[in-house]
């Protein structure tokens, strides 16, 4: 087990050296949109790890399809019902984390996530009303999970790394996440 101070040193070791340009992925100060996207993707990433779904990489570097992305590793375990709920919670984690930072839900930025949420809900819900009800229950649950000890500090730190480097490896994200959760539990946040 790693001591917290050792972990902090490891984080410091990841500071950019003189030969690295920390903003090489994009010039200049991040825009409010960059920051919102960073919180959105950090929300997906931290929610995945909290629900024990490993991730390969998180990025806010724009591509043709979307603003950023959080790439999950394939994993199939647990009963199907839980797997569907887990996937929905990870999808809602982006919307929830972004809203907690900006103060408002950005349904447009999350439109692809919400399409996927509804596609998953259709597998379970009997009708539109039941679907809406389940969607709102799971959004509450996702937001409740954002309150878990250390969770918000994990998201803030992942978002900061994304704004600095553009993307972070799954290993890097897990390191930040585990350290933040450990500290959060210790402090009883």
What is the contact surface with Zn ion in residues (CB under 5 A)?
94, 113
Longest CA pairwise span in the chain (Å):
58
CB of 28 to Zn ion, least distance (A): 24
CB of 116 to Zn ion, least distance (A): 9
Measured from the CB atom, the residue of 94 and 170 that comes closer to Zn ion is 94
CA distance 66 to 97: 18
Measured from the CB atom, the residue of 141 and 182 that comes closer to Zn ion is 141
CB of 44 to Zn ion, least distance (A): 6
Nearest to residue 32, comparing CAs of 63, 6, 66, 67?
67
Residue nearest to Zn ion (CB): 94
Measured from the CB atom, the residue of 113 and 179 that comes closer to Zn ion is 113
CA distance 33 to 37: 6
Measured from the CB atom, the residue of 37 and 153 that comes closer to Zn ion is 37
Cβ(101)–Cβ(39) under 8 Å? yes
């Amino acid at each position: 087990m790693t001591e917290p101070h050792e972990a902090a040193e490891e984080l410091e070791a990841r500071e950019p050296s003189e030969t690295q340009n920390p903003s090489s992925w994009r010039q200049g100060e991040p825009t409010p949109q960059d920051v919102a996207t960073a919180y959105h993707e950090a929300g997906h990433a931290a929610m995945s790890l909290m629900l024990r779904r490993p991730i390969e990489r998180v990025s806010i570097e724009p591509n043709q399809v979307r603003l950023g992305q959080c790439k999950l590793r394939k994993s199939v375990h647990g009963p199907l019902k839980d797997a569907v709920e887990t996937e929905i919670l990870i999808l809602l984690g982006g919307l929830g984390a972004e809203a907690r930072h900006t103060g408002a839900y950005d349904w447009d930025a999350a439109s692809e996530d919400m399409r996927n949420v509804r596609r998953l809900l259709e597998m379970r819900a009997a009708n539109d009303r039941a679907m809406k009800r389940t969607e709102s229950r799971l959004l509450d649950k996702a937001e409740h999970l954002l309150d878990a000890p250390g969770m918000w500090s994990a998201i803030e730190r992942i978002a900061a790394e994304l704004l600095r480097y553009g993307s972070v490896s799954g290993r890097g994200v897990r390191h930040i996440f585990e350290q933040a959760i450990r500290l959060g539990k210790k402090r009883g946040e």
